[in-house]
Amino acid sequence: QDLNYVLVSHAPDSDSWWNTIKNGIALAGEQMDVSVEYRNPPTGDLADMARIIEQAAAAGPDGIITTLSDYDVLSGPIRAAVDSGIDVIIMNSGTPEQAREVGALMYVGQPEYDAGYAAGLRAKDDGVGSFLCVNHYISSPSSTERCQGFADGLGVDLANQMIDSGQDPAEIKNKVQAYLSANPDTDAVLTLGPTSADPTLLALEDNGMAGEIYFGTFDLGENIVQGIKDGVIAWGIDQQPFLQAYLPVVVLANYHRYGVLPGNNINSGPGFVTADGLTLVEKYAGEYR
């Protein structure tokens, strides 16, 4: 284990989606025989995240894998890390251009706005004209970007179609129901991950709109996969977090050992997971998917 990589995320401790990431780097570390670490700001405060990147740089690893969820905040520390001789790969959020700007080797991921936009276009094709975006993490900018992208893809104004649902499942469920009964002509529901998708599923089941209303979601989870299977959820946008974590480790290890580097960025998503070909997805949802 001569090589040593650190992955710094922007997610608070409890965000379940990042598990896949943790599992991804752990597996890659094992397979490539390098040591990997996962770090994150406990409350999801991006300013704290900047400090963690600085800390990681101070510890002098061979490479840092990190997100670029706010270019303003993170570009400084990342560039400093790059300049002090540490190789950096940007994953998950940010854009390829921004990654190049800060001097990262490459970008692996799915820009949030673009993913939302793609989903919006797809929904527009399916005849959706209005929607409800269930934002369970309103204070985080990337979640708002997803909703904004979706609205722009549909070509409508976001306005009041995004709700601050909080993270309590019962509150999410009841808020979705409240919104839908107050706005019965809503065409579609968009959730931003398992935290909001699971209660929304129950809410739709309860008020009989399951299968009736157009339902799309970001990210996968056990219940989401089940929902897709049952035909309640039209699609899940899979940005394949596993790849976002796994590939950078592999790339870095190979680069450091053999000097080989892919010539381009890797778009891990957006891939739309629909009812077709769900077996593996189902098996590993929440763990590697």
- Cβ–Cβ < 8 Å for 158, 148: yes
Query: Residue 179 or 246: which CB sits closer to another protein?
Result: 179
Query: Residue 144 or 265: which CB sits closer to another protein?
Result: 144
Query: Residue 76 or 271: which CB sits closer to another protein?
Result: 76
Residues whose CB is less than 8 angstroms from the CB of residue 235 and which lie 6 or more positions away in sequence, other chains included:
119, 122, 216, 217, 228, 272, 273, 274
Site for another protein in 71-90 (CB under 8 A): 71-73, 76, 79-80, 82-85
Sheet containing strand 266-267, edge to edge, reads 35-39, 4-8, 63-66, 87-92, 106-109, 266-267
Site for another protein in 22-51 (CB under 8 A): 22-23, 37-40, 42-47, 50-51
- Establish if 169 lies at the interface with another protein (CB under 8 A): yes
- Cβ–Cβ < 8 Å for 14, 236: no
Extract the tokens encoding 131: 């929607």
Site for another protein in 98-157 (CB under 8 A): 103, 138-141, 144-145, 148
Q: Please, what is the end-to-end C-alpha distance for the chain in angstroms?
A: 27
Which of 3, 163, 234, 253 is close enough to bind another protein by CB under 8 A?
Answer: 163
Query: Residue 141 or 266: which CB sits closer to another protein?
Result: 141
Binding string, residues 188-227; x marks residues near another protein by CB under 8 A: ------xx--xx--x----xxxxxx--------xxx----
Query: Residue 55 or 274: which CB sits closer to another protein?
Result: 55
What amino acid is encoded at 111 in this protein? P
